[in-house]
Amino acid sequence: MSRRPARRSTAIATATAVLAAGTFALGASVAGADSGSKGEKRAEPVTRTQVLGLFDHWNAALRTGDPKKVADLYAKDAVLLPTVSDQVRTDRAGILGYFEHFLRNKPVGTKTESVVNVLDRDTVIDTGVYEFALTDPATGEKSTVKARYTYAYEKQPNGTWLIVNHHSSKMPQG
């Protein structure tokens, strides 16, 4: 057997090893890219106070009476399981339709209990109990609806937080 094929085999094995090591190093560097290398500016994790402020922003949008302003706070593929409707809303038109109806009651929400779970810097869940003061548009009669809620929010590439899932249901009687 000549030495030439042995050298070629050694060269191929060496090149393969170098390529594999380089691929591993590149993969490790990409995997660690989010872990915050020196000089890299990283987004700070969201705080409980900031998450609770997202509801305040949503509640303020309700008080404008403009269903478009409320619907703008939901992602385009958001799911809404609303308090006073048995229809699941899975697109902007459905969410907008719900708030066109709901806002006639001039709702004002007040949270009475909140549990915030920060899943990662771009995903949070706010779950708890809230009450809505409502005014009947025909009679002016006031009422209060107590409900359980869950909001799941995702931070968008532009830095805004949008609701991706919102479930609200009246508290069971008894």
What sign for the dihedral angle of Cα 134, 112, 74, 54?
Answer: positive
Structure tokens, 121: 């810097």
| pLDDT tens column, 29-76 | 333 444 444 444 566 889 999 999 999 999 999 999 999 999 999 999
Within-domain flag for 29: yes
Measured distance CA(21)–CA(38) in Å, rounded:
24
Measured distance CA(163)–CA(123) in Å, rounded:
10
CA–CA distances in Å: residue 127 to residues 85, 123, 130, 169: 19, 13, 10, 12
Average pLDDT over residues 124-146: 96
Within-domain flag for 42: no
* Judgement on whether residues 8 and 54 belong to the same structural domain of the protein: no
Confidence band of 4 (pLDDT split at 50, 70, 90): very low
Residue 108 is predicted with a pLDDT of 96
| Cβ(103)–Cβ(70) below 8 Å | yes
Residue 27 is predicted with a pLDDT of 41
* Judgement on whether residues 66 and 118 belong to the same structural domain of the protein: yes
Residue 150 is predicted with a pLDDT of 98
Measured distance CA(117)–CA(114) in Å, rounded:
10
Contacts of 93 (CB under 8 A, 6+ apart): none
Measured distance CA(45)–CA(79) in Å, rounded:
25
Instruction: Tally the domains of the chain.
Output: 2
Q: Helix, strand, or coil here: 15?
A: helix
| pLDDT tens column, 110-120 | 999 999 999 99
* Residue 145 burial (CB count, 10 A): 17
Structure tokens, 70: 């409320």
* CATH number where 93 lies: 3.10.450.50
Average pLDDT over residues 138-162: 97
Average pLDDT over residues 1-9: 48
Confidence band of 171 (pLDDT split at 50, 70, 90): very high
- Considering the entire predicted model, what is its pTM? 0.75
* Judgement on whether residues 25 and 89 belong to the same structural domain of the protein: no
Is pLDDT of 28 > 50? Answer: no
Mean pLDDT across the chain: 83
* Judgement on whether residues 12 and 78 belong to the same structural domain of the protein: no
Residue 42 is predicted with a pLDDT of 64
